[in-house]
A and B are shown apart, each in its own frame.
Chain A
Amino acid sequence: MAEYPEIFPVTDYATQMLAVVDAELSKLRHDPMELLSRAVQPALWLVLFGQVMAQVRGLSAGINYLDFLAPGILAQSVLFVAIFYGIAAIWERDLGVLHRYLVSPAPRTALVLGKALSSGARGLSQAVVVYGLAFVLGIQVSLELRHVLGVIAFIALGSALFCTLSLIVACLVKTRERFMGIGQAVTMPIFFASNAIYPIRLMPLWLQAISRLNPLTYEVDGLRAFMLRNGVSTLGIGLDFLVLITIFTGLVAIAARLYPRMGE
């Protein structure tokens, strides 16, 4: 073919990856209700769960429990929004939309990264909701530019990671019914075996060990450092970032191999 070069230059790769992102963003533009409906869950956690648990002494050692909880709930929303991509992928496969992506010359990693990046955009919309709630509830949110940029970076990375994980699960289980079951069985342990709603030091030792292997723990830790005024990272921002980026890279490599099998 004379029209296209043999090896994809970076710009072509970016074009194909951003094509996927743009399509996802267009869907959100056409149906913003989807985002609003996803705002209900974080609101319930912060307003109901958070208000009650704030009465428990010593839960969050020193800082206000709601302050402690807000970044955890933001991370949780990011996780739940991203997990939706797996079921969407199965849906696209059943409809035939997926085949249109797979017969295109786009590199498989570009297709996976496109989905992962667009998940970041959905995650950021959740951040707007959680920041709004935090403001109403009087949570000590930092609006300093470098803090906001830090939050954006961690949301983008966390969304992309969990979106890719979800795509892998979808490729393995293949049907919507099974995904529903497995999706719950994956997200709930990720959530509860993390530092999202209680500190790791309260956990029994075996659970502490698991939580240290859990990417959500590092996501929450990073968000806690950037989202709050006087926020601190327990594990270290550098480590948080390194762990997330390493897991994400591994997951993309796996997903790019499995994704084409969805079209078989």
Chain B
Amino acid sequence: MYNRQSATLTPSSDTDSAISTSALCRHFGDLVAVDNVSLSVLPGEIFGLIGSNGAGKSTLIKMLTTLLPPSSGAARVAGFDIIAQAGDVRRSIGYVPQMLSADGALTGYENLLLSARLYVIPRRERAQRIAEALAMTNLTRDADRLVQHYSGGMIRRLEIAQSMLHRPKILVMDEPTLGLDPVARHTVWDDIRALRETRRMTILITTHDMEEADELCDRIALMHHGRIQIIGAPAELKRQVGPEATLDDVFAHYTGLDVEPEGGYRQARQARRSAREHG
């Protein structure tokens, strides 16, 4: 259903999309950070924007979360125009920025209370929603500690809890596991999957971690130099590149980074594997 060019190029006509962009562009002076991006994210899917640093993922995310106005093009998030209906977009999404956005000078509970008030969650529901969010992210016992004493994984989980309080339809996460140790990473992945299963949320993440994209995402869009190179399910993309291809191979194939002659991917992988075994 995604190989029809016209369908992917004019997704704004697709009103069922959770997120749709058409010819979205963002320039910074001469630099084109996001170049003519048209994509659509379906309700209930975990969609990954992958690419190396500077590929334009974060710029695209900032436009979709209303933090940055586009230079040209249009986008709708939860059915709302990101420029004309920015307030509605903000009410419909939860956002976990790449940087650690929980306030270290406040406790976990105070961070959640701040979010609850900024989103004007009715007073009578606040306590219950905060308690639920703490329980879901397993932070109940640490609720009254200052966040500056939390581990990186705990901060990430708190931020997910903060961005969930107002029950958004769409959760946007920029590099959700950047800088986390493997255990914390898996915990965050479990949280993300749980949100999709229990709340039927649409989740958009960016990552430059191919393992994360492979593990977590139903579909991915590979960005390079601000453009979308290819969109599809990880398994499908791997199959297109070759048998036994990994997402690293897909990445190399479409970005031209690390390109090897025909059959070179497997050789390179074997070489790396044997180097690991012998080294």
Determine whether A33 belongs to the interface, using a CB cutoff of 8 Å to chain B: no
A93-124 vs B, CB cutoff 8 Å, 1 = contact: the mask equals 01111011111111000000000000000000
A8: nearest chain-B partner, CB-CB: B120
| Closest CB in chain B relative to A5 CB, distance in Å | 10
| Closest CB in chain B relative to A92 CB, distance in Å | 8
- The segment from A12-20, A35-43, A225-233 that touches chain B is A12-20
A31/B105 in contact, CB under 8 A: yes
Measured in the bound complex, the distance between the Cα atoms of B100 and A100 in whole Å is 10
Contacts of A101 in B (CB 8 A): 118
**Given A22-B114, A96-B97, A106-B118: A27 and B67 within 8 A (CB)?**
no
Contacts of A30 in B (CB 8 A): 105-107, 146
B91/A1 in contact, CB under 8 A: yes
Determine whether B10 belongs to the interface, using a CB cutoff of 8 Å to chain A: no
**Given A95-B99, A103-B65, A103-B93: A15 and B105 within 8 A (CB)?**
no
A residues contacting the other copy or chain, number (CB 8 A): 31
Measured in the bound complex, the distance between the Cα atoms of B61 and A96 in whole Å is 14
B114/A99 in contact, CB under 8 A: no
Contacts of A206 in B (CB 8 A): none
**Given A1-B91, A264-B62: A96 and B118 within 8 A (CB)?**
no
Determine whether B187 belongs to the interface, using a CB cutoff of 8 Å to chain A: no
Determine whether A26 belongs to the interface, using a CB cutoff of 8 Å to chain B: yes
Determine whether A150 belongs to the interface, using a CB cutoff of 8 Å to chain B: no
A260: nearest chain-B partner, CB-CB: B67
Contacts of B93 in A (CB 8 A): 103
Measured in the bound complex, the distance between the Cα atoms of B103 and A22 in whole Å is 13
Measured in the bound complex, the distance between the Cα atoms of B106 and A95 in whole Å is 14
Determine whether B110 belongs to the interface, using a CB cutoff of 8 Å to chain A: yes
A99/B67 in contact, CB under 8 A: yes
Determine whether B40 belongs to the interface, using a CB cutoff of 8 Å to chain A: no
| Closest CB in chain B relative to A247 CB, distance in Å | 28
Contacts of B90 in A (CB 8 A): 103-105
**Given A96-B98, A100-B97: A26 and B118 within 8 A (CB)?**
no
Q: Ordered nearest first, which 5 A-B pairs have the shortest CB separation?
A: A96-B99, A19-B117, A96-B101, A104-B118, A105-B90
Known: A30-B106, A100-B101, A103-B65; 6 extra A-B contacts, CB below 8 A, are A1-B88, A22-B113, A95-B100, A100-B162, A263-B62, A264-B67
Q: List 25 A-B contacts (CB under 8 A).
A: A4-B91, A15-B117, A18-B117, A22-B114, A22-B117, A27-B103, A30-B105, A30-B106, A30-B107, A94-B99, A96-B98, A96-B100, A100-B95, A100-B101, A101-B118, A102-B67, A103-B65, A103-B90, A104-B118, A105-B87, A105-B120, A106-B118, A260-B67, A263-B62, A264-B67
